[in-house]
């Protein structure tokens, strides 16, 4: 893979959040208050947050991404973030629900073990009565 073009992390977070909510346009998800249901999002990027339809100012773009992450977490979504080779580590670490849910991948070949670890963490979550 050869990187080219721009990256818009905000739109990825927003669509991820939309797919986990009951709001249009993707309104088929279960309600956040559904018993024994946890919602997870994995945000993966290989670039700096450089694209936004509102501005070319990097700080403003990052602020919008931070807000999207904050609101998704406030809604109850657990967020994992994966930085592949390039990107703003601080932004992605802050977007993750907690620092242990942030992964810094230096080589694409490390993705399989990272996703296996995330899958193991998610599948280990169990509620008991």
Give residue-wise pLDDT tens across range 4-31.
Answer: 678 889 999 999 999 998 887 887 888 8
Q: Answer whether residue 103 shows pLDDT above 50.
A: yes
Could you give the number of structural domains in the chain? 1
Residue 1 domain flag: no
104 assigned to some structural domain = yes
Is there a domain that residue 4 lies in? no
Q: Provide the CB-side half-sphere exposure for 107 (13 A, CA).
A: 3
CATH code at 70?
A: 3.40.50.410
Buried b (16+ CB within 10 A) or exposed e, 75-100: eebbbbbbbbeebbeebbbbbbbeee
Residues 6+ away with beta carbon under 8 Å from 16: 41, 42, 43, 72
Tokens of 106: 């230096």
Residue 129 domain-assigned? no
Residue 118 lies in a domain: yes
**Alpha-carbon distance 104 to 87, whole Å?**
10
**Distance from C-alpha of 48 to C-alpha of 129, rounded to nearest angstrom:** 44
91 within some domain: yes
DSSP letter string, 14-27: HHHHHHHSSSTTS-
Report yes or no on 63 lying in a domain: yes
In a domain, 80, yes or no: yes
Q: What is the pLDDT of residues 44-99, one digit of tens each?
A: 998 788 878 888 888 899 999 999 999 999 999 999 999 998 888 999 999 999 99
Domain enclosing residue 60, as ranges: 9-25+32-123
Cα 99 from Cα 86, distance rounded (Å): 18
């Amino acid at each position: 893979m050869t990187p080219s073009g721009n990256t818009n992390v905000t739109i990825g977070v927003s669509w991820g959040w939309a797919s986990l909510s009951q709001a249009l346009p993707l309104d088929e998800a279960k309600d956040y208050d559904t018993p024994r249901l946890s919602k997870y999002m994995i945000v993966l990027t290989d670039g700096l947050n450089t694209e936004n339809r509102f501005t070319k100012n990097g700080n403003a773009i990052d602020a919008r991404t931070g807000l999207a992450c904050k609101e998704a977490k406030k809604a109850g979504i657990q967020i994992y973030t994966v930085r592949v080779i390039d990107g703003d580590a601080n932004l992605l670490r802050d977007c993750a629900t907690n620092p242990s849910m942030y992964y810094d991948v230096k080589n694409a070949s490390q993705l399989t073990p990272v996703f296996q670890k995330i899958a193991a963490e998610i599948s280990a979550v169990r509620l008991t009565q």
